[in-house]
Amino acid sequence: MPTEQELASRERLSCEIEVTPAFYDIDVMEIVYHGNYVRYLELARSALLAQFDYDYPRMRDSGYGWPVVDMRLKYVRPALFGQKLTIRATITEWENRLRIDYVMRDAATGHKVNTAHTIQVAVDIQTKEMCFVCPPVLWERLGVQP
């Protein structure tokens, strides 16, 4: 069972956004096309990183690229045209890689629609070398210890 401090830290390292699938997100089966969930995750990830003033331009300016090297999605139930969805993105690892976990829910009912996670690694922009430990700039921005 997580402690109150762990719960508070998790909340601080989270962000929630709302999206509404548009007509162009729908496939022939009249549900959100599975590839569009990736775009929704990107919106949540971008909002989360912006909270720490470490969005993609800031990452680049700090000398690091952060490519996604792994992404896993689990589709629980379909999302529909016009259905309001909430997406909670939470940073769960930051020592050697940046892992963000996601939970997508129907905004009205709270029913889970999708769970996912992405893993990003720091790459030195100058040398193109992958860093095996996240650079201190990430820890500083997040206000966490390695």
* Catalytic residue IDs: 27
- Reading the block at residue 74, the tokens are 């689990």
Cα 105 to chain centroid distance, Å, stands at 14
Amino acid at 137: V
- Reading the block at residue 1, the tokens are 């069972």
Among 122, 145, 143, 146, residue whose Cα is nearest residue 51: 143
